[in-house]
C-alpha cells in the first residue's frame, strides 16, 4: 500500500515563549525544532503499515528550506522518500496549506497511483487549526476520520478508533481514505544510527508554489499574561512534608 | 442577517462549551439580528433543557443522527446557512465542534478560525500552542466561521422567552450517511479518570524510572487522586499515554495538581491550566514550573513524596 504522512516543522519552546520584536513569530534563535507528537505517531504508523503490508511511505512538509531536517528525521524512522513544498518561512493559512499539499498529492498520484491512506496530525502543534486534513479529504473526495488512537487496515478498509469520554468510537472507512491521528496511537521508535545514515541518501522532491493571499491572516502574537506567579516555597526536602499536609487539609482534599 | 450557532447536546441537554459558543454568537448580532441555533437529533421530540440565548432552535432530524456523524451534521448546517443567509456560524471549540466546523469550512470553501477567545467581527483572537500563546487574526470571508475555545468566555443566560423550535429534515449525501460511528467500545475502567479527578499527582522525568512511580502511586491512593505524567515519561515507556497531561495529552482541572519532577514546559502546562492550585516538587529552585505553581517544595521527590 502507499501511505502519505504530512508533518509541520515547529520550534521546541521550553518553559517560556519569547516573541520576535514585531510580535509576528516566536524568537527561535536559541531553540531546536520538531514536529507535533501527533504527527510523530503518524510517521510511525505509516512506516508500520508499509512494514506490514509492503509498499511505500512518503513524508511531506510545507515549510522553509530548514524543514528538510524534519523530513530527514521521518526518513530516519523509516519513511521511504519525501516531498518538500518549500516556502520562505512565512506562515501559510490553512486553506493555502491544504491547497498546496493537495497539488503535491495530485501530481504524485498521477505518477505513482493513489495513496491508500493520507495521514495528518489531529491538529498542528503551533497553529492548531484542526482543519488541513479535513479540507484535503473533501478536495480528494475521500472519507476522513479524525483524532484516531488506533488504526487497523485490512481487506481494503481502515478500522479507526477515536477516543471519546467513556470509551472509543469506531469508524470503518473504505480505502483510499484520509485520517488524522493523535499521540498515543503508538509509541514511536527512536531512529537508529544506520537509519539516520540511510535517511541522508533518500530522495527529497522539492516544489516552490507561490503563497496565496491569506484568508485567515495572523496579525500579531501575544503571550498571555495572568498565570505568572512565584510559588510559595513550603520548605526543602522531607522536612517540608508537614507543610504540604497542612495545605492539603486547608483546601479540603485531605481530612 | 442572522447568526447561526451549532450546539452539541446529550438528549437535549446542551453542553457548557456550546452555551459559551451561543454567548459569542449573540454578541456578534449587535442585538438587532436573530441568533439561530442548530442541533442534530434522530427524533423530532427532542426535549430542550435550560435557557438558551437564541431566538430559534432548528432541529435537524434524521436517522443518521442516532450516532455521531460529523459530515452529515455539517451538511445540515450548510443547508441552513443557505436558507438563513447567515452572516456567521459559531461552534464549540471541542474536538467534535472543531471537526464539524472544519467540514462546514471545506464544504463552503471558506476560512475557519478555530478556538477563538474573543471575536470582534472579522478580527479574532485565537489560541495557539494549546493556549500557551494567543494569535490576533483577520478573517476574510462573506460568512464568518469560527469555534470558541472552551472555558474562555462566561455564559450569559437567555433573555427570557424560550426559543421557538423548528424541525427540518436535511438532505444528506451518500458520503455523509456513510461517515458515522459504527460501534462504541467501552473504556478500560478502573481508577479515577484523569480528566475529572479532584486531585492529580504527576511524575516527570525526575521520577527516574517506572519503579520511581511507586511513591507517587502511593500518595495518589492516599488522596483518592489520579496519577498523571509528563511526555518525557510516556516517551520513556514508564507510563501509558493515557496518563499524560498536556497539549497532546489530557487536559485536567483538579482542585490541586501535585507535579513531581516536572520542569514545566509550556506544552505540559497547557494541560493543567484548569487546575485551581499547583504544588511543584522539584530539585531545582529555578525550574520554570515554579512560575506557574502556587506552592513548591525543593528537593528530591523520592525523599519528599513518601514523607507526605
Ligand atoms: C508540540 C509538543 C507537544 C508536547 N506535548 C506535551 C504534553 O502533552 N505533555 C507533556 O508533558 N509534554 C509535552 N511536550 C514535551 C515538553 O516540551 C517537555 O519536553 C516535557 O514536558 C518535559 O517533561 P519533564 O518535565 O518530565 O522533563 P524535564 O524537562 O527533563 O524535567 C525534569 C524535571 O525534574 C526535576 N528533577 C530531576 N530529578 C528530580 C528529583 N529526584 N526530585 C525532584 N525533581 C527532580 C528537574 O529539576 C526538572 O525540572 C510537548 C512538546 C511539543 C514540542
Ligand atoms: N505546513 C504544513 N506542512 C505539512 N503538513 C501540515 C502543515 N500544516 C498542517 N499540516 C498537517 O495538517 C495537520 C493539521 O493542521 P492544522 O489544521 O493546522 O491544525 C497537521 O497535524 C499536519 O499533519
For chain A, give the percent of residues with pLDDT over 70: 99
Q: Stretch B76-92: mean pLDDT, rounded?
A: 97
**Is the dihedral angle over the CA atoms B59, B61, B65, B69 positive or is it negative?**
negative
Tens of pLDDT, residue by residue over B91-136, are 999 999 999 999 999 999 999 999 999 999 899 999 999 999 999 9
pLDDT at position A170 is: 96
Q: pLDDT at position A165, please? A: 80
Q: Which of A87, A113, A29, A114 is nearest to A206 (CA)?
A: A87
Question: Model's pTM, two decimal places?
Answer: 0.96
Give the residue, A165 or A49, on which the prediction is more confident.
Answer: A49
The answer, for B10 touching chain A at a CB cutoff of 8 Å, is no
Average pLDDT taken over every residue of chain A: 96
Judged by CB atoms closer than 8 Å, whether chains meet at B248 and A131 is answered as: no
> What gap in Å lies between CA A74 and CA A238, rounded to an integer?
44
Residues A225-240: pLDDT tens digits?
766 678 999 999 999 9
Q: Find the radius of gyration of the CA atoms of chain B.
A: 22
Q: Quick one: cell of B293? A: 505553581
Torsion on CA atoms A165, A168, A171, A176, rounded to nearest 10: 100
The pLDDT score that the predictor gives to residue A234 is: 95
Task: Provide the chain B residues 205-224 that lie in CB contact (below 8 A) with chain A.
Answer: 223
| Cα-to-chain-centroid distance, residue B260 | 26
Ligand 1, CB cutoff 6 Å, lining residues: A 12, 34, 36-37, 125; B 204-206, 230-233, 244-249, 261-263, 265, 267-268, 271, 281-284, 287, 300-302
- Average pLDDT on A157-185 reads 94
Classify the C-alpha dihedral B159-B160-B166-B170 as positive or negative: positive
Share above pLDDT 70 across residues of chain B, in percent, rounded to a whole number: 96
pLDDT at B191: 66
Nearest Cβ partner for A167 among B107, B111, B184: B184
The residue among A214, A243, A211, A240 whose CA lies nearest residue A85 is A211
pLDDT for the residue B159: 66
pLDDT at position A251, please?
93
Q: At residue B189, does pLDDT exceed 90? A: no
pLDDT surpassing 90 at residue B1? no
Nearest-Cα distance to chain A for B19, in Å, is: 19
Residue A30 grid cell: 536559541
Q: Do B99 and A147 make contact, defined as CB atoms within 8 angstroms?
A: yes
Q: Which residues of B touch A255 (CB under 8 A)?
A: none
Predicted local confidence at residue B177, as pLDDT? 95
- Partners of residue A168 in chain B, C-beta under 8 Å: 184-185, 187
* Nearest CB partner across the interface for A251, out of B242, B277, B290: B277
Rounded to whole angstroms, the Cα distance separating B250 from B267 reads 11
Question: What is d(CA A221, CA A12) in angstroms, rounded to the nearest whole number?
Answer: 17
| DSSP assignment letter at A13 | -
Spatial neighbors of A164 by CB under 8 A, at least 6 apart, are none
Contact check, Cβ <8 Å, A167/B130: no
* CA–CA dist A196, B215 (Å, integer): 39
- Supply A233's cell numbers: 516555597
Is residue A200 a contact partner of residue B119, using CB atoms and an 8 Å limit? no
pLDDT band at B180 (very low <50, low <70, confident <90, very high): confident
pLDDT band at residue B80 under the 50/70/90 scheme:
very high
Query: Could you give the percent of chain B with pLDDT greater than 90?
Result: 84
Mean pLDDT of B17-24: 95
Q: Give pLDDT tens digits for A182-211.
A: 999 999 999 999 999 999 999 999 999 999
* Confidence (pLDDT) at A227: 61
A121 lines ligand 2 (CB under 6 A): yes
Is the pLDDT confidence value at A255 over 90?
no
Distance CA B308, CA B290 (A): 20
Contacts of A165 (CB under 8 A, 6+ apart): B195
Among candidates A129, A147, A244 on the partner chain, residue whose Cβ is nearest the Cβ of B308: A244
Give pLDDT, residue A226. 66
Q: What is the pLDDT of residues A22-67, one digit of tens each?
A: 999 999 999 999 999 999 999 999 999 999 999 999 999 999 999 9
Closest C-alpha to B255, from B302, B189, B192, B204: B192
- Contact of B283 with chain A, judged by CB distance below 8 Å, is answered with no
d(CA A194, CA B304): 43
Helix (H, G, I), strand (E, B) or coil at A144: strand
**C-alpha cell read off for B158:** 437567555
Beta-carbon pairs below 8 A across chains A and B? 250
Least confident of A7-11, A93-97, B185-189: B185-189
**pLDDT over 80 at B29, yes or no:** yes
pLDDT at A217 over 70: yes
Residue ranges of E strands in chain A: 2-6, 10-11, 33-34, 56-63, 81-86, 117-121, 144-154, 157-164, 167-174, 177-181, 204-207, 216-222, 232-236
Tens of pLDDT, residues B228-283: 999 999 999 999 999 999 999 999 999 999 999 999 999 999 999 999 999 999 99
C-alpha cell at B79: 443547508
Ligand nearest to the CA of A181: 2
Q: In the predicted model, is pLDDT for residue B39 greater than 90?
A: yes
In this prediction the ipTM stands at: 0.96
3-state DSSP assignment of residue A120: strand
What 3 state SS string does chain B have? CEEEEECCEECCEECHHHHHHHHHHHHHCCCCCEEEEEEEECCCCCCCECCCCCCEEEEEECHHHHCCCHHHHHHHHHHHHHHHCCCEEEEECCHHHHHHHHHHHHHHCCCEEEEEEEEECCEEEEEEHHHCEEEEEEECCCCEEEEECCCCCCCCCCCCCCCEEEEECCCCCHHHHHCCCCEEEECCCCCCCCCCCCEEEEECHHHCCCHHHHHHHHHHHHHCCEEEECHHHHHHCCCCHHHEECCCCECCCCCEEEEECCCCCHHHHCCCCCCCEEEEEECCCCCHHHHCCCEEEECCHHHHHHHC
Amino acid at each position: 500500500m502507499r501511505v502519505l504522512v504530512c508533518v509541520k516543522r515547529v520550534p521546541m519552546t521550553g518553559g517560556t515563549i519569547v516573541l520576535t520584536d514585531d510580535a509576528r513569530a516566536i524568537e527561535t534563535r536559541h531553540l531546536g525544532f520538531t514536529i507535533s507528537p501527533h504527527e510523530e505517531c503518524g510517521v510511525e504508523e505509516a512506516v508500520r503499515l508499509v512494514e506490514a503490508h509492503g509498499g511505500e511511505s512518503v513524508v511531506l512538509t510545507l515549510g522553509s528550506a530548514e524543514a528538510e531536517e524534519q523530513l530527514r528525521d521521518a526518513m530516519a524512522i523509516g519513511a521511504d522518500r519525501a516531498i518538500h513544498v518549500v516556502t520562505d518561512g512565512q506562515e501559510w493559512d490553512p486553506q493555502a496549506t491544504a491547497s498546496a499539499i493537495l497539488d503535491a498529492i495530485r501530481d504524485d498520484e498521477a505518477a505513482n497511483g493513489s495513496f491508500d491512506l493520507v495521514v495528518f496530525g489531529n491538529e498542528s502543534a503551533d497553529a492548531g487549526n484542526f482543519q488541513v486534513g479535513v479540507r484535503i479529504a473533501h478536495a480528494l473526495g475521500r472519507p476522513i476520520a479524525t483524532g484516531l488512537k488506533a488504526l487497523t487496515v485490512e481487506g481494503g478498509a481502515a478500522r479507526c478508533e477515536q477516543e471519546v469520554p467513556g470509551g472509543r468510537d469506531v469508524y470503518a472507512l473504505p480505502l483510499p481514505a484520509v485520517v488524522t491521528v493523535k499521540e498515543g496511537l503508538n509509541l514511536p521508535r527512536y531512529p537508529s544510527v544506520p537509519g539516520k545514515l540511510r535517511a541522508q541518501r533518500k530522495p527529497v522532491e522539492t516544489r516552490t508554489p507561490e503563497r496565496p493571499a491569506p484568508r485567515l491572516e495572523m496579525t500579531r502574537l501575544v503571550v498571555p499574561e495572568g498565570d505568572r506567579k512565584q510559588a510559595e516555597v513550603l520548605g526543602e526536602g522531607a522536612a517540608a512534608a508537614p507543610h504540604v499536609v497542612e495545605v492539603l487539609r486547608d483546601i479540603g482534599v485531605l481530612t | 442577517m442572522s447568526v447561526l450557532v451549532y450546539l452539541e447536546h446529550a438528549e437535549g441537554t446542551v453542553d457548557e462549551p456550546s452555551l459559551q459558543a451561543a454567548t459569542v454568537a449573540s454578541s456578534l448580532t449587535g442585538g438587532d439580528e436573530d441568533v439561530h441555533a442548530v442541533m442534530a437529533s434522530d427524533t423530532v421530540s427532542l426535549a430542550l433543557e435550560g435557557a438558551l440565548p437564541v431566538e430559534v432552535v432548528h432541529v435537524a432530524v434524521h436517522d443518521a443522527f442516532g450516532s455521531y456523524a460529523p459530515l452529515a451534521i455539517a451538511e445540515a448546517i450548510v443547508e441552513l446557512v443557505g436558507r438563513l443567509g447567515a452572516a456567521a456560524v459559531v461552534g464549540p471549540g471541542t474536538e467534535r465542534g472543531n471537526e464539524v466546523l472544519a467540514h462546514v469550512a471545506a464544504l463552503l470553501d471558506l476560512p475557519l478560525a478555530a478556538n477563538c477567545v474573543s471575536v470582534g467581527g472579522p478580527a479574532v483572537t485565537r489560541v495557539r500552542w494549546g493556549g500557551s500563546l494567543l494569535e490576533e487574526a483577520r478573517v476574510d470571508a462573506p460568512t464568518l466561521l469560527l469555534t470558541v475555545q472552551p472555558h474562555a468566555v462566561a455564559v450569559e443566560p437567555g433573555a427570557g422567552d424560550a426559543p421557538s423550535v423548528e424541525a427540518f429534515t436535511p438532505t444528506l449525501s451518500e458520503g455523509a450517511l456513510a461517515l458515522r460511528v459504527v460501534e462504541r467500545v467501552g473504556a478500560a475502567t478502573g481508577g479515577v479518570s484523569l480528566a475529572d479527578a479532584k486531585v492529580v499527582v504527576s511524575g516527570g522525568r525526575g521520577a527516574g524510572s517506572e519503579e520511581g512511580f511507586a511513591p507517587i502511586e502511593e500518595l495518589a491512593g492516599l488522596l483518592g487522586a489520579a496519577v498523571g505524567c509528563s511526555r518525557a515519561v510516556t516517551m520513556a515507556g514508564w507510563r501509558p499515554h493515557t496518563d499524560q497531561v498536556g497539549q497532546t495529552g489530557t487536559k485536567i482541572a483538579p482542585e490541586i495538581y501535585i507535579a513531581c519532577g516536572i520542569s514545566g514546559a509550556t506544552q505540559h502546562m497547557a494541560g493543567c491550566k484548569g487546575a485551581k492550585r499547583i504544588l511543584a516538587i522539584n530539585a531545582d529552585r529555578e525550574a520554570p514550573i515554579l512560575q506557574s505553581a502556587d506552592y513548591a517544595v525543593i528537593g528530591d521527590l523520592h525523599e519528599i513524596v513518601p514523607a507526605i
